[in-house]
Amino acid sequence: MKFCPMCGMPQLEAGLTVCQFCDYEEKAVEALSKKEIYDLMASYEYEWIGDGVRIKAVKNIRDIALRGAVAIPHFVTEIAAGAFAHCKFLARLDLPKGLRSIGEGAFAHCRDLFDVFIPARVSHIGKGAFSDCYDLGAIRAAAPAQPEGWDSEWLSGCPAKVEWSSFDEA
């Protein structure tokens, strides 16, 4: 299931580019106004890197507590080490298809997290990225097997089973 990065509402069809609830339209980052980018990134501490954005930290935990879900904007390419660590109300996570890297401990100790889909372009996951996520039963990954760039301990202390697939759909 996909979540709108503006309003956080679930989208019934994962292929939609316009939100059915708030009319947010997914556009190329170059086509977004400064206000649209600010609105999308207001809950995060971030930095522009090369051809994308790195989320460094969550600024507004209240947004996560209200919705229980995080929809990371489609132009984010990296999530830094510890960026979402200890977000105790985070239950669902919608990672963008363009994401390439998840840092060490990025989602560590997110104890309510139970739904994660990892897109095919993710070529790096750091050690303990999902450590101590006790409610995480399964992680769906759009890769036929664990890529070489994923640390062997990316799931340390997490009981989740990984469902490998070659399809890049949430």
With 0.85 as the threshold, say if the pTM is over it.
no
Band (pLDDT 50/70/90 cuts) for residue 6 is: low
Q: What pLDDT shows up at residue 13?
A: 64
94 SS3 class: strand
Is the predicted pLDDT of residue 163 greater than 90, yes or no? yes
Worst-scoring range by mean pLDDT, 16-25, 68-77, 102-111, 136-145? 16-25
Query: Under a CB-based contact definition with an 8 Å cutoff, are residues 60 and 82 in contact?
Result: no
Is the predicted pLDDT of residue 84 greater than 70, yes or no? yes
Which domains, from first to last, does the chain contain?
A: 43-164 (3.80.10.10)
Quote the CA–CA distance of 39 and 145 in Å, as a whole number.
36
Alpha helices in the chain (DSSP H): 34-41, 61-67
Query: Under a CB-based contact definition with an 8 Å cutoff, are residues 128 and 152 in contact?
Result: no
Neighbours of 81 (CB within 10 A): 16
Residue 92 carries which side chain, given as an amino acid letter?
A: R
Q: What pLDDT shows up at residue 35?
A: 81
